[in-house]
């Protein structure tokens, strides 16, 4: 994901929100997007862990969780949950 974001023209870093970590903070032309990546979110604990740091960010930039779960894209409280493969293949704008 790091290399993909660089190829899309973003500068990329790891974010911290208090004790929580955000996998990727991607910045390009004054815009920013926060991204969490995980293998699967079958367990409620995993889902909570991946969404917790993004929910604690109090700005209006896009927030995305990417995983290999097979599901239709969804939005939970302004945080988009997308399939990682679909995201990479379709090269959607963030």
- State pTM to two decimals: 0.88
Which tens digits make up the pLDDT trace of 39-77? 998 888 988 999 999 999 999 999 999 999 987 777 888
Q: Which domain holds residue 73?
A: 2-90
Domain of 69, CATH number, reads 3.40.1350.70
Structure confidence by residue, pLDDT tens digits, 8-33: 999 999 998 889 999 999 999 989 99
**What's the structural domain count of the chain?**
1
- Residue 17, Cβ neighbours under 10 Å: how many? 15
Calpha distance 44→80 (Å, rounded): 17
The pair of structure tokens assigned to 84 is 């990682």
* 62 and 78 Cβ atoms separated by less than 8 Å: no
């Amino acid at each position: 994901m790091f290399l993909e974001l660089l190829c899309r023209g973003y500068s990329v870093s790891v974010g911290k929100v208090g004790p929580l970590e955000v996998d990727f903070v991607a910045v390009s032309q004054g815009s920013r997007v926060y991204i969490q990546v995980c293998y699967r979110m079958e367990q409620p604990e995993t889902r909570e862990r991946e969404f917790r740091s993004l929910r604690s960010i109090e700005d209006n930039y896009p927030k995305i969780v990417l995983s290999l779960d097979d599901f239709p894209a969804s939005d939970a409280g302004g945080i988009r949950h997308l399939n990682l493969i679909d995201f990479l293949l379709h090269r959607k704008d963030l």
